[in-house]
Amino acid sequence: MTDDQNSAPAPFHMPRIGDPAPEFTAVTTQGDINFPSDYKGKWVILFSHPADFTPVCTTEFVMFASMMDEFAKYNTELVGLSVDGLYSHIAWLRTIKEKIDFNGHSDVEVTFPLIEDISMNVASKYGMIMPGEDTTKAVRAVFVIDPEGIVRTILYYPLSLGRNFDELLRVVKGLQTADAFNIATPADWRPGDKVIVPTAGSCGTAKDRMGGEEGAMECQDWFFCTKDLPAEEVEAAIRKG
């Protein structure tokens, strides 16, 4: 092996949508966890942040903690990670509660688990370390994992860009709505908006749709049909988990 090969950074692995979430055990601020088996039957947002005691991460933790109950309405748990140690995590979360006021939120207590990952073992399993961005900090990764432990959505942000929390909640609602009603959601969808009916699988079905014979849907062409799905019906279905 050459010197160049010895010095080359190790390749990172990134799970794909539809893959089982990589398994790990870890120490957290809420005790040890065995992931994802401890969360079977629940949706999970597993997210990484670059470092404790950094301003963008601090604002994000205020928002995650303040929305924890809202995510819980949709059977969704939060699990955070950085490559800092447990005592650093504890000190930082205490500082957030005692000193930070952001976006109208203060005295915020973070009660979801924050993983200690000094070894970068978990971050490496999930492809959270991206050498082009930083070799010692995890980027702002988000993995939405379903109740069967399958990765359903992956979002990556650079170190400089804070996450949009309305979008994270919209993703959870959208995934659960698609599962519950066997539909797809269009761009900018929110509960109460029209949803997309699966594309016709045969010429006969396409003809029936265009002729208005497939029920209450609106078809602009054979492949593009939508229907109403009231927000109350969506909320009733997905709040059951």
Catalytic residue among 57, 203, 219, 225: 57
For 27-89, the DSSP string reads -BBTB-EEETGGGTTSEEEEEE-S-TT-HHHHHHHHHHHHTHHHHHTTTEEEEEEESS-HHHH
C-alpha span between 82 and 57 (Å, rounded): 10
CA 19 to chain centre: 14
Q: Let me know if 57 is a catalytic residue.
A: yes
The reply to whether 152 sits in an annotated binding site is: no
Q: Which of 213, 209, 212, 187 is nearest to 198 (CA)?
A: 209
Is the CB of residue 163 less than 8 Å from the CB of residue 45?
A: no
Enumerate the active-site residues: 57
Binding site residue list: 140
Binding site residue list for substrate: 140
